[in-house]
Amino acid sequence: MSDCGCELELKDSEQKSVLYWLLAINSIMFLLEVGVGWYAQSTALIADSIDMLADAAVYLIALYAVGRAITDKARAAMT
């Protein structure tokens, strides 16, 4: 590794914070877009909102993974 200081390592709590923000923004956009798509009878907007829902599911899985890493680290530290 180089010592240029260009590596970015986030703590688990910082990663969780970023993921919570992404999840919140994506969920709000999903709700708005599905509502507008339903009102406008636009299948394109509804389809895009489903894509946003899938993105939100990925953020939930990432939050689960970050949380698992913390518990695994704690368990390993106690043994």
In a domain, 34, yes or no: yes
Beta carbons of 48 and 5 less than 8 angstroms apart: no
What pLDDT is stored for residue 13 in this prediction? 82
Asked if residue 8 has pLDDT above 90, the reply is no
Residue 8 token pair: 């970015």
- pTM for the model: 0.72
Structural domains counted in the chain: 1
In a domain, 6, yes or no: no
Domain housing 23: 12-74
In a domain, 5, yes or no: no
| pLDDT tens-digit readout, 46-68 | 999 999 999 999 998 888 888 77
In a domain, 3, yes or no: no
**Over residues 30-47, mean pLDDT:** 97
Go through 40-71 and write b for each residue having 16 or more CB atoms within 10 A of its CB, e for each that does not: eeeeebbebbeebbebbeebeebbeebeeeee
Write the single-letter amino acid at 5. G
